[in-house]
Amino acid sequence: MTDTPVSPAPAPAAKPAPAGPLVSAALDGPVGILTLNNGAKRNALSEELLDTFISALEGLQGHNVRAIIVRAAPGMGVWSAGHDIRELKHGAGDPLGYADPLERALRAIRACPAPVIAMIHGTVWGGALDLVLSCDMVVADETSSFAITPANLGLPYNTTGLLHFLGRLPLNLIKEMFFTATPVKAEDAARWGIINHLVPSAELETYTMGIAQGIATKAPLAVAVVKEQLRVLTDYQPVAAQVFERLQEMRRAVYASHDFQEGIDSFLEKRKPVFRGD
DSSP state letters, 143-191: T-EEE--GGGTT----HHHHHHHHTTS-HHHHHHHHHH-PPEEHHHHHH
The pLDDT assigned to 8 comes to 40
The pLDDT assigned to 247 comes to 67
The pLDDT assigned to 160 comes to 87
Catalytic residue among 59, 127, 161, 263: 127
Catalytic residue among 83, 121, 122, 126: 83
Residues in the chain predicted with pLDDT less than 70, given as ranges, are: 1-20, 90-92, 236-248, 252, 255, 267
Asked about 157 being catalytic, the answer comes back as yes
Asked about 127 being catalytic, the answer comes back as yes
Helix (H, G, I), strand (E, B) or coil at 32: strand
Catalytic residue among 32, 59, 82, 157: 157
Specify the pTM: 0.84
Beta carbons within 8 Å of 198's beta carbon, 6+ residues apart: 140, 141, 142, 144, 186, 187, 189, 190
The pLDDT assigned to 156 comes to 83
Asked about 98 being catalytic, the answer comes back as no
Rounded CA-CA distance 192/173 in Å is: 8
Rounded CA-CA distance 100/105 in Å is: 9
Helix (H, G, I), strand (E, B) or coil at 140: strand
Beta carbons within 8 Å of 246's beta carbon, 6+ residues apart: none
**What are the chain's domains?**
4-202+219-235 (3.90.226.10)
Task: Provide the greatest CA pair distance for the chain.
Answer: 56
